[in-house]
Structure 1
Amino acid sequence: MQLNSKTVTGILITTLVLGAVYYLFQRHRWLLEQMKTTPDNGCAPKFAVKDCDFHLVAPDHLVYKQPSLIQGRTDVVSVTPWLAPVVWEGTFNPLLLDSIYKPKNITIAATVFAVGKYIRFLKKFLETAEQHFFVGFKVHVYVFTDRPDEVPNVNMAAGRQLMVLSVPSSNRWQEISARRMELVQMLIEEKLQNHIDYIFCLDVDSQFHGRWGTESLGGLVAVIHPGYYRDSRSKFPYERRPSSRAYVAPEEGDFYYCGGAFGGLLEEVHQLAKTCHTNFVNDAKEGIEAAWQEESHLNRYMWINKPSKILSPEYLWQDFKPRNPEVHIIRFSGVVKNYAEIRPNV
């Protein structure tokens, strides 16, 4: 049987297409094998893909109060314009959330910086964290300090650990503040990426008063600053110099976020810390220091990279402020202190 030219051409084209598909398939398999076997040289941290924050499975037959669409908090906003939840007392069910996250066997890291005279706040921070911060979950607390011998001995529950990391002291509190992003980035790359799911970076001159738990988990988590949440954005203390990489224009910005409490999935916080540190260093090369150091860069970052969950001012109140009516509970707060006495250059 003789084949005409059109049939021959069709067979050739089909053969070429099938050959190309087979080549791409084999190439894809080879690349996957290379990714599995190529050692990590530290240049590009690899983060395991996890379903911690995306696939939420409740235990069968768990009994809890029925949710309502017509009853609940009406005195506060509980969702942002980009549909991120804002966590207030009365907007979540702790029993349900803990039951969802407990089977995931997650581990949460917390970082605190106890440099210079700030070491005096560490004992109360650690003791109250044992009482309120992710109780019943695996927690690793990393303390950065220039006074490791003065770290207090605090009894910690099973599954909870304290690690002390030595850092140099400084004559300027601004430098201590600015270095936090760099040290958090390095900590994630060198120690955490294989066994930590979430991380929260917290101020040591603070203490817990109430539950801080699974309701705070999210991809990128920000905390609303208690001093500005009732103000218009024009009053926010953003970095207003266009020459700085932390610049936020007067008509820009969503909320003013705390530099003393933020967190989320390890990969998200790594990207935040890396970006803020890089921008800080590049600013410094041009003789610029943002108004509130790493907090200014954090606010710039979160203006562009929207947080997936926002914690209300319950999660970092200020002890010198009277509680406003919408704040039903204070979970974490900055203690009253004399900055002139504890900061080296004030």
Structure 2
Amino acid sequence: MTTGLIVMATGRYASFVPAFIESAREHVSDLHRVFALGEDPDVGRVSPLIEWLPWGHLPWPYPTLLRYHAITAHRGRLEAVDHLVHMDVDMRIEQRCDFSQVDGLFAVEHPWFVGADPGDLPYERRAASKTYCSPTESSQYFCGGVQGGTSRSYLDACLQMSRWIDADLANGLVPVWHDESAWNRWCSEHSPELILPHTYCWPETKVGATPIIVALDKNHGYFRATSTWQAAVARVRPHVAVVRRFVERSARRVLRRLSISLTRRRT
């Protein structure tokens, strides 16, 4: 049995590929290929494991919203393996993962919503959306960053989810959590054959568990940017807030001292 990983490596996200490949090579059983979808063919030269598949970088949220379209567009190549696993490229695999035993589809519990009340789960709640999911349809919420199964089952799911998103866009709707909303809609209609614990998509900044796959912390604005200017703004913005707070504190101190000085002169 062969396993293929799918990653979206468009724009600045391509910089995560080398580290991702290293952790995948070490920890994913029966790994045959990593399919990297992006606009830069040089990504394919990072490792013999990588097969580059062309897909352009778009303004946010389309890189994530249209990932099922990208996967569907390359179905002919992706069918070459027995099992497919889509992972966000900004992941680090830390323990052994064997996806070759999955029969059908698997989903991963979202680490921030384990045990949450169904009414608090962030499903798409607009009934006009094709990704709409009511609280009575499911009591679990799954992350979009790790998912997959047998190739045919997963590719069939991707095709249907891409159609839902097309229908929403045609009606001027963007699902609230983009591709993740579509995935949860799919899972509410077709129960995954295997549900993996939230340690398969554990945030780097979250404590309380020993992760199997880590979702890396990052500057979202920088990596989602489609231009050098946008990236520069994203990198500077957090520092601007720090400088602003410093200036405000300094100004208050100066005003207090000035007020004290004026009071003393009057007396």
| Class of the TM-score when normalised by the shorter of the 2 chains | 0.7 to 0.9
- Paired position in structure 2 for 1:282: 167
Provide the identity percentage.
26
- Paired position in structure 1 for 2:55: 167
- Paired position in structure 1 for 2:65: 178
| Per-residue deviation, 1:250 | 3.1
More helix by share: 2
User: TM-score, with normalisation over the residues of structure 2?
Assistant: 0.80
Tell me the alpha carbon deviations over residues 125-159 of structure 1, each in whole angstroms, 9 at most, x when there is no partner. 1111011111xx242110011223355624x6xxx
Tell me the alpha carbon deviations over residues 12-40 of structure 1, each in whole angstroms, 9 at most, x when there is no partner. xxxxxxxxxxxxxxxxxxxxxxxxxxxxx
Q: Unpaired segments of 5 or more residues in structure 1?
A: 1-105
Change (3 A) 1:250 1:167: same
- Paired position in structure 2 for 1:191: 77
Change (3 A) 1:152 1:236: farther
| Per-residue deviation, 1:167 | 1.4
- Paired position in structure 1 for 2:25: 130
User: TM-score, with normalisation over the residues of structure 1?
Assistant: 0.62
| Per-residue deviation, 1:165 | 1.4
Secondary structure of the corresponding residue to residue 173 of structure 1: coil
Q: In structure 1, give the amino acid aligned to 2:173.
A: I
Q: In structure 2, give the amino acid aligned to 1:252.
A: E
Mapped pair 1:114 → 2:114: no
Note the 1:46-195 alignment, pairs <5 A.
106-134=1-29, 137-150=30-43, 153-154=46-47, 161-170=49-58, 172-188=59-75, 190-193=76-79, 195=80
Change (3 A) 1:233 1:215: farther
Q: Which runs of 4+ in 1 moved over 4 A?
A: none
| Per-residue deviation, 1:228 | 0.7
Tell me the alpha carbon deviations over residues 262-314 of structure 1, each in whole angstroms, 9 at most, x when there is no partner. 00111110121011000100111111110011110110010010100011011
RMSD: 1.8
Note the 1:254-273 alignment, pairs <5 A.
254-273=139-158
Q: In structure 1, give the amino acid aligned to 2:212.
A: R
Distance in 2, matches of 1:207 and 1:280, equals: 29
Q: In structure 1, give the amino acid aligned to 2:19.
A: K
Contact map agreement 2:5 2:86 (CA 8 A) in 1: yes
Q: Unpaired segments of 5 or more residues in structure 2?
A: 235-267
| Per-residue deviation, 1:261 | 0.7
| Per-residue deviation, 1:215 | 7.2
